[in-house]
């Protein structure tokens, strides 16, 4: 299958070939035709599948093929959960529309709104936005959504995780009822299905099934370790392994800052990226990480969502996520495009139940290794950490799962998809 056979116009085909894409990715092959037919689409796809081009290319095709108003009202709105994702989607819109008479802009918070307003005033066809700044600007009369023909909700699941449901509902009320809607989400919870029901009209459902799921391609390992020894362990792994580019996930912003400081103290160049960082700081950190001047990027899930970091060799979960799907998103940042990658999780006793849920989700046991000098604390409680709370160790003694967490004898077998599975004395 070629991009041409999907029915995209010549200027778009030129832009696609300039980007170096040869064939459509599965999600593009599935999503582009129904979008071109003007249908609503519900797509299941995560970052890395080529989903952005999946909605941007047909959207640009439709806008450029239909007559334009010389005042250029906003005809397409793409809503994304994070600033980084908005900036990335906008960069894609710009590239794909290079040979078209289409103008676009991006608006997000954390930066001066004046230049954003000035660009919109000149007339734009496509607006990429995060919900907060969009509603602010609309409230100030700086933009109108009354002429929107195509609405894209990108990473809808993350939108809900970030508490944007109300904002999405407000945005919908600002657009005409008659419009085409496209919704992309990596996961489909009950809430997402409910949202899809309210936004979409008789949608075509498409799904990207990666040839290899992340969990099959990526080498995964768990280091059981005492909570207080995690920092020492990660510094040892990075230094002794001479890792050059490592993405590290923490659960909280505070944790990200703290770890970052300690890395720098140990002579490892590091930067943190999270919601409390200014847009400038985030962009600088990401740019440094991509060029190699920053060896370690410490991120929270929300900040890392949607970042396009190609060929990442190492991902470390300094703390496991309490939402199992986030584990799959995190480790999905390594092993892209057939490159091998390694995902390591530092797991303390209080994260045992998170590990269990993750293993259940991915349907395999992750190898456990204990590093000498960084052993788990046999007296630590396996009771899960309460959200937003940092617990110290050593609360309960020798619960049944404590002894499990420090045990390490096991046998290896394979699950139904051929992956190595562990059955050990932890279960
Ligand atoms: P996305 O899932 O939209 O974040 O895209 C992930 C990466 O795949 C980006 O770096 C895109 O530039 C790239 N990409 C998108 N479509 C294609 C394609 N058809 N062929 C090769 N690379 C692509």
Kindly tell me the burial class for residue 189, based on how many C-beta atoms sit within 10 Å of its own C-beta (0-12, 13-18, 19 or more).
Answer: middle
- Tell me the pLDDT tens digit for each residue of 97-139: 999 999 999 999 999 999 999 999 999 999 999 999 999 999 9
Q: Which pLDDT band holds residue 209 (cuts at 50, 70, 90)?
A: low
Closest CA to 133 of 95, 90, 196: 90
- What is the third-level CATH fold of 4-207? Rossmann fold (3.40.50)
Helix (H) or strand (E) holding 299, with range, is strand 296-299
Q: What percent of the chain has pLDDT over 70?
A: 85
DSSP 97-148: TTTSS--EEEE-TTS-SHHHHHHHHT--SEEEE-HHHHHHHHHTTS---TT-
Supply the pLDDT for residue 211.
40
Supply the pLDDT for residue 8.
96
Average pLDDT over residues 71-87: 94
Are 62 and 139 within 8 A, CB to CB? no
406 Cα: distance to centroid of ligand 1 (angstroms): 42
Sequence-separated (6 or more) residues with CB below 8 Å from residue 308? 47, 88
- Tell me the pLDDT tens digit for each residue of 329-373: 888 777 544 456 789 999 999 999 999 999 998 888 999 999 999
Dihedral sign for Cα 88, 252, 318, 408, please.
negative
Q: What is the pTM of this model?
A: 0.60
45 Cα: distance to centroid of ligand 1 (angstroms): 12
Number of the ligand 1 atom closest to the C-alpha atom of 51: 3
Residue 86 has pLDDT above 80, yes or no: yes
Supply the pLDDT for residue 56.
98
- What is the third-level CATH fold of 218-419? Rossmann fold (3.40.50)
Give phi and psi for 294, each to the nearest 5: -110, 120
Are 251 and 322 within 8 A, CB to CB? yes
CA distances from 359 to 11, 124, 171, 178, 379 (A): 46, 47, 38, 44, 24
Alpha carbon distance 84, 307 (integer Å): 7
Dihedral sign for Cα 317, 319, 324, 326, please.
negative
Supply the pLDDT for residue 146.
97
53 Cα: distance to centroid of ligand 1 (angstroms): 7
Alpha carbon distance 155, 186 (integer Å): 7
SS3 271: strand
36 Cα: distance to centroid of ligand 1 (angstroms): 19
388 Cα: distance to centroid of ligand 1 (angstroms): 35
Number of the ligand 1 atom closest to the C-alpha atom of 23: 19
Residue 244 has pLDDT above 50, yes or no: yes
Residue 424 has pLDDT above 50, yes or no: no
CA distances from 241 to 234, 244, 316, 368 (A): 10, 9, 13, 18
Ligand 1 pocket: which residues have CB below 6 Å? Answer: 21, 24-25, 28, 47-53, 308
Q: Where in the chain is the domain with CATH 3.40.50.300?
A: 4-207, 218-419
46 Cα: distance to centroid of ligand 1 (angstroms): 11
Q: What percent of the chain has pLDDT over 90?
A: 61
CA distances from 120 to 71, 131, 134, 322 (A): 11, 16, 12, 40
Number of the ligand 1 atom closest to the C-alpha atom of 47: 2
Q: For a pocket test of ligand 1, which of 4, 30, 52, 337 has the largest count of ligand atoms closer than 8 A to its C-beta?
A: 52
- Tell me the pLDDT tens digit for each residue of 1-12: 789 999 999 999
Sheet of strand 246-249: strand arrangement: 270-273, 296-299, 246-249, 314-317, 342-347, 219-224, 367-369
- Tell me the pLDDT tens digit for each residue of 145-165: 999 999 999 999 989 988 999
Identify the residue whose C-alpha is closest to ligand 1 atom 8: 50
Residue 415 has pLDDT above 70, yes or no: no
Residue 249 has pLDDT above 70, yes or no: yes
């Amino acid at each position: 299958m070629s991009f041409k056979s999907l029915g995209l116009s010549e200027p778009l085909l030129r832009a696609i070939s300039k980007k170096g894409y040869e064939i459509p990715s599965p999600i593009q092959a599935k999503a582009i035709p129904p979008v071109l037919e003007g249908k609503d689409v519900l797509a299941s796809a995560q970052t890395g599948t080529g989903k952005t081009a999946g909605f941007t290319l047909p959207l640009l095709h439709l806008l450029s093929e239909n007559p334009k108003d010389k005042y250029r009202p906003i005809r397409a709105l793409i809503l994304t959960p994070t600033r980084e994702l908005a900036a990335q989607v906008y960069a894609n819109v710009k590239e794909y529309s290079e040979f078209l008479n289409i103008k676009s802009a991006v608006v997000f918070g954390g930066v001066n709104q004046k230049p954003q307003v000035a660009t919109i005033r000149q007339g734009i066809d496509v607006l990429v936005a995060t919900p907060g700044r969009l509603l602010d600007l609309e409230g100030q009369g700086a933009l109108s959504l009354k002429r929107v023909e195509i609405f894209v909700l990108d990473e809808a699941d993350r939108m809900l995780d970030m508490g944007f449901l109300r904002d999405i509902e407000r945005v919908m009320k600002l657009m005409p009822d008659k419009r085409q809607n496209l919704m992309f989400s990596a996961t489909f919870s009950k809430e997402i299905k409910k949202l899809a029901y309210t936004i979409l009209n008789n949608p075509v459902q498409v799904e990207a099934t990666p040839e290899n799921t992340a969990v099959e391609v990526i080498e995964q390992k768990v280091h059981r370790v005492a909570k207080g020894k995690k920092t020492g362990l990660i510094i040892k792994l990075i230094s002794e392994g001479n890792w050059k580019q490592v993405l590290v996930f923490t659960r909280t912003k505070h944790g990200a800052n703290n770890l970052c400081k300690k890395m720098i103290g140990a002579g490892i160049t590091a930067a943190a990226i999270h919601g409390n960082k200014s847009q400038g700081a985030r962009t600088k950190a990401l740019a440094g990480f991509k060029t190699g001047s920053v060896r370690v990027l410490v991120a929270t899930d929300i900040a890392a969502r949607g970042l396009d970091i190609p060929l990442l060799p190492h991902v470390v979960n300094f703390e496991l996520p309490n939402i199992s799907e986030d584990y799959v998103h995190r480790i999905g940042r390594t092993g892209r495009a057939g490159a091998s990658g390694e995902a390591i999780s530092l797991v303390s006793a209080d994260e045992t139940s998170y590990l269990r849920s993750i293993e259940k989700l991915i349907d395999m046991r992750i190898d456990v290794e204990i590093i000498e000098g960084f052993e788990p604390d046999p007296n630590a409680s396996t009771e899960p950490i309460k959200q937003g709370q940092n617990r110290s160790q050593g609360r309960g003694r020798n619960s049944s799962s404590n002894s499990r967490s420090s045990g390490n004898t096991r046998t290896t077998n394979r699950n139904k998809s051929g992956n190595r599975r562990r059955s050990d004395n932890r279960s």
